[in-house]
C-alpha cells in the first residue's frame, strides 16, 4: 500500500532528538571469590616472612617405671617468606572529552578510574591463584609474588611434578586428564591426615560441571510438584566435612583447589592497597594511576591441597 502524497515520515524528518539510554550495560565478569574470602594484612617490607611448626610424631611406646625423662626432640619452626607484587592500571582522558555531556556517567575520567579499579581486582585474583614462583626483582625486572599453586606440595594429585612447597618454584604442568571424584577424595584424605580442614573447592567452569556429576554418597530427591531440574550442587559433603564449591573465572582452569581459606591471607604494603594518584599533567588531558602492592601468605600449605593437570573442555 502506498503512502499518501507529501506525508512526512521519520525517514525524511529533520531534528529528531537522540534516544540514548542513560545506563551503560557491562557484563564483563568481575567476581574475585578468593581475594574476597581471605584475610587482609599489612606488611612493612617487600619481603615478608612467617613461621610454620609441626609437633613430634605420635608415639605409643610405654615409659619404664622410674625412668628418666625421654628428652623428646626439639622441633624448630620453619621460616617461610614471599615477595610483594606490584600491579598498576591507569586512565587518561582529554579535556574536551571530560567537558562532554556523556550518557551513563557524569565524568568520563571518574568512570575510567572505576573500571581500572575493577580490572585491578581481577588482575590480583589471577596473580594470587597462579602457578608462579616468587621473584626478588631487580632494577630492570619486576618483583613477583608466589601464587597459590607453587605453595601446594603435600596434598596433591597431578600428572606433573609437585613444587617444593615454599614458593621458590612451580608445579610442573603435564598431560591433562579428566577430573574424577577419586582424585578429590585422595586429596581430601591427605589434607585431613596432615591436620587440615579444607572448607572450599575452587574450580573453573568446565570442572564445576564435572563436579556436578560426582555421585558417590549423593542422593537427589525431588518433590513431584517441583518443576525445577536440579543438575548441580554447591556443597560437597565429604568424609571429612562439608566444602563449598566455588567457580572462579580467574584461576587456572586446569586446577581444582581444595582450600582451608583461613590458612591464606593477602598482604599489602601500607598505603599501597588500591592507591589512586594524579599523573603529572603534560598537556590537554588528565590522568590517574591506581597502584596495588600485595603478596600471598600461605600460612601452612599442609592444610590445603590441589588436583592438577585436569582437562578443561
Q: What is the pLDDT of residues 138-182, one digit of tens each?
A: 999 999 999 999 999 999 999 999 999 999 999 999 999 999 999
Query: What average pLDDT does this structure show over 292-306?
Result: 98
pLDDT given for residue 230 in this prediction: 59
- pLDDT tens digit string along 28-38? 888 999 999 99
The answer as to whether 242 is a domain residue is yes
272 is in which domain, residue-wise?
33-52+78-219+230-307
The predicted model scores a pTM of 0.89
pLDDT given for residue 155 in this prediction: 98
Task: Give the contacts of 11 (CB within 8 A, at least 6 positions apart).
Answer: none
Q: Average pLDDT of the chain?
A: 91
* 3-state SS, residue 84: coil
What's the pLDDT band for 127 if we cut at 50, 70, 90?
very high
The answer as to whether 7 is a domain residue is no
Task: Give the contacts of 149 (CB within 8 A, at least 6 positions apart).
Answer: 129, 130, 131, 132, 163, 170, 171, 252, 255, 306, 308
The length of the chain is 313
Domain count, the chain: 1
pLDDT given for residue 128 in this prediction: 98
Residue among 35, 292, 37, 57 nearest 193 (CA): 57
- The dihedrals phi and psi of 103, each to the nearest 5 degrees, come to -85, 140
Query: What average pLDDT does this structure show over 279-290?
Result: 93
- Cα-to-chain-centroid distance, residue 22: 33
Spatial distance between the Cα atoms of 25 and 47, rounded to a whole number of angstroms: 41
- Angstrom CA distances, 198 to 41, 112, 215, 217, 263, stand at 21, 39, 20, 19, 9
The answer as to whether 3 is a domain residue is no
CATH (domain of 164): 3.90.1690
**Residue linked to cell 617490607:** 45
The answer as to whether 14 is a domain residue is no
Query: What average pLDDT does this structure show over 44-69?
Result: 91
* 3-state SS, residue 121: helix
Query: What average pLDDT does this structure show over 36-64?
Result: 93
pLDDT given for residue 19 in this prediction: 75
**Do the Cβ atoms of 291 and 88 come closer than 8 Å?**
yes
The answer as to whether 8 is a domain residue is no
**Do the Cβ atoms of 263 and 275 come closer than 8 Å?**
no
The answer as to whether 70 is a domain residue is no
The answer as to whether 93 is a domain residue is yes
What's the pLDDT band for 2 if we cut at 50, 70, 90?
confident
pLDDT given for residue 30 in this prediction: 85
- pLDDT tens digit string along 201-249? 999 999 999 999 997 645 555 566 666 655 567 899 999 999 999 999 9
CB neighbour class for 139 (10 Å; exposed up to 12, middle 13-18, buried from 19): exposed
The answer as to whether 264 is a domain residue is yes
**Do the Cβ atoms of 133 and 146 come closer than 8 Å?**
yes
Amino acid at each position: 500500500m502506498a503512502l499518501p502524497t507529501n506525508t512526512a515520515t521519520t525517514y525524511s524528518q529533520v531534528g529528531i532528538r537522540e534516544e540514548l539510554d542513560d545506563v551503560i550495560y557491562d557484563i564483563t565478569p568481575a567476581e574475585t571469590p578468593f581475594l574476597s574470602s581471605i584475610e587482609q594484612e599489612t606488611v612493612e617490607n617487600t619481603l615478608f616472612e612467617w613461621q610454620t611448626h609441626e609437633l613430634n610424631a605420635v608415639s605409643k611406646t610405654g615409659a619404664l617405671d622410674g625412668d628418666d625423662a625421654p628428652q623428646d626432640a626439639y622441633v624448630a619452626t620453619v621460616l617461610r617468606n614471599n615477595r610483594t607484587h606490584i600491579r598498576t592500571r591507569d586512565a587518561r582522558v582529554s579535556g574536551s572529552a571530560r567537558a562532554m555531556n556523556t550518557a551513563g556517567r557524569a565524568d568520563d575520567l571518574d568512570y575510567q578510574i572505576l573500571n581500572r579499579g575493577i580490572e585491578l581486582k581481577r588482575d590480583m585474583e589471577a596473580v594470587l591463584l597462579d602457578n608462579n614462583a616468587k621473584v626478588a626483582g631487580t632494577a630492570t625486572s619486576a618483583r613477583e609474588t608466589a601464587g597459590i599453586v607453587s605453595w601446594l606440595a603435600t596434598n596433591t594429585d597431578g600428572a606433573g611434578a609437585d613444587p617444593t612447597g615454599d614458593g621458590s618454584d612451580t608445579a610442573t604442568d603435564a598431560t591433562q586428564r579428566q577430573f574424577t571424584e577419586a582424585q578429590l577424595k585422595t586429596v581430601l584424605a591427605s589434607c585431613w591426615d596432615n591436620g587440615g580442614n579444607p572448607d572450599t573447592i575452587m574450580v573453573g567452569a568446565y570442572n564445576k560441571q564435572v563436579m556436578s556429576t560426582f555421585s558417590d554418597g549423593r542422593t537427589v530427591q525431588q518433590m513431584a510438584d517441583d518443576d525445577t531440574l536440579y543438575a548441580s550442587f554447591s556443597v560437597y559433603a565429604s568424609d571429612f566435612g562439608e566444602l563449598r564449591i566455588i567457580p572462579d573465572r580467574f584461576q587456572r582452569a586446569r586446577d581444582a583447589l581444595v582450600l582451608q581459606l583461613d590458612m591464606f591471607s593477602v598482604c599489602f604494603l601500607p598505603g599501597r592497597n588500591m592507591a589512586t594518584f594524579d599523573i603529572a599533567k603534560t598537556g590537554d588531558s588528565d590522568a590517574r594511576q591506581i597502584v596495588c602492592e600485595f603478596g600471598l601468605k600461605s600460612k601452612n600449605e599442609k592444610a590445603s591441597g590441589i588436583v592438577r593437570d585436569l582437562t578443561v573442555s
